[in-house]
């Protein structure tokens, strides 16, 4: 069975501020979109993996990491892994850019 991927337009690149998170919703998925200082854009599930959660789009962005606003867990924007000594992982989403449009690939 061949899986079909869908590119969904979610934002204008020019409207995204560096080192800020943006919350978007696609169907039942809440996704945090981040543009980092070098211009790269990443997308993660918008919930920290610890039991009390935490809205990642409200977290502090530093380099290729976002810090959970509830427990200050350091989470990689690249692969969604929580950095030691904490443990866990959030889902990441593929991001495409075509001129000024940002797409999430599902």
Q: Give percent above pLDDT 70 in the chain.
A: 97
The model's pLDDT over 55-94, given as tens digits with 9 standing for 90+, comes to 999 999 999 999 999 999 999 999 999 999 999 999 999 9
Tokens 């940002």 correspond to: 102
pTM of this prediction? 0.92
Residue 25 contacts residue 31 (beta carbons within 8 Å): yes
Terminal CA-to-CA distance of the chain, rounded, Å? 16
Domains and CATH numbers, the chain: 16-93 (2.102.10.10)
Residue 47 backbone class (left: φ over 0; alpha: ψ -120 to 50; beta: rest): beta
């Amino acid at each position: 069975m061949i899986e079909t991927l869908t590119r969904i337009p979610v934002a204008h690149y020019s409207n995204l501020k560096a080192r800020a998170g943006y919350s978007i919703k696609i169907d039942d998925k809440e996704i945090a979109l981040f543009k980092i200082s070098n211009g790269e854009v990443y997308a993660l599930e918008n919930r920290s993996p610890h039991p009390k959660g935490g809205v990642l789009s409200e977290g502090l962005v530093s380099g290729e990491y976002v810090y959970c606003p509830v427990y200050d867990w350091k989470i990689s924007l690249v692969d969604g892994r929580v950095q030691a000594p904490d443990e866990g992982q959030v889902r990441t989403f593929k991001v495409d850019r075509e001129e000024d449009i940002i797409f999430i690939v599902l």
